[in-house]
Structure 1
Amino acid sequence: MTIHLHDIGGEHSLTLDADGLAADAAVVAAGHEPNGYFWEGLVRFAWPDIAEHVDFDSEAGIFCAVGSSSDLARLKTAVESVITSPETVRDIIARAEASGFDFDD
């Protein structure tokens, strides 16, 4: 699995290797770069109720969120349902773009 929950010294983080995901082709077809910054934007748009409770430390090759174990567990479940579904990613991108959201990828 490309999503990992970490607990290092009491700090909880969730990472996603942003490479070789099933949804990558859908992201590229929509004109975006399937990198950590894109996935951060997708999370901010699709799950703002979770995003407001975590901090992000994404990079080009990795999505990273830092927060409580419960918020990160909810985020992991949400993201897992999307990274394997190009159709869901296309839908989220379309809704985000229609609302004027900028992925900043």
Structure 2
Amino acid sequence: MDINHFKETIKPFFWVEHDNSFSVCLEAGSYKQEVFAARADEGFEGNGYDWGSLAQIFLTEKRPDLSKSIRFDPEGGMFCAYSSEGDNLKDFILDFKKACEDEALIRDLFSRAELD
């Protein structure tokens, strides 16, 4: 998949290349807020930390083969995953985006997310 098609496929996540690593980020609050709203009474807001918790569950349960190479660095307004292994991060975000688009799957995964 060429890089432009890849970047279009993962939207609203966005890809960033650094000198020795790669990141994929999302502006928190811009995507899938209804998933987080379902647990708002528990304190979930859909912020970067909530996305980090959801992404960690996805990585642990669905892509454990990538768990050694993917790291998360969320902030209040931004979700960010990074790796020095670009191909692994691309595999992760393609699969995570696909999971986000599967309403039943993403809600099931989110049911096990914990507040950070």
Report the alpha carbon displacement of residue 59 of structure 1 after superposing the two structures with TM. 0.6
Contact 2:51 2:79 in 1 (8 A): yes
1:55 aligns with 2:105: no
Residue 45 of structure 1 is matched in structure 2 by 57
Q: TM-score, length-normalised on structure 1? A: 0.78
Identify unmatched segments of 5+ residues in structure 1: none
Contact 1:26 1:87 in 2 (8 A): no
CA distance in 1, matches of 2:50, 2:33: 11
CA RMSD for the aligned pairs? 1.8
1:71 aligns with 2:88: yes
CA distance in 1, matches of 2:26, 2:14: 7
Residue 9 of structure 1 is matched in structure 2 by 19
Residue 88 of structure 1 is matched in structure 2 by 105
Identify unmatched segments of 5+ residues in structure 2: 1-10
Contact 1:25 1:86 in 2 (8 A): no
Contact 1:5 1:13 in 2 (8 A): yes
The CA deviation string for residues 35-89 of structure 1, in whole angstroms up to 9 with x for no partner, is 1111111111121213442222111111111101012101211221233444332
CA distance in 1, matches of 2:108, 2:27: 22
Alignment length, in residue pairs?
A: 98
The CA deviation string for residues 11-34 of structure 1, in whole angstroms up to 9 with x for no partner, is 21111122221x211211222210
Contact 2:58 2:96 in 1 (8 A): no
Structure showing greater relative contact order (alpha-carbon pairs closer than 8 Å, 6 or more residues apart)? 1
Q: TM-score, length-normalised on structure 2? A: 0.71
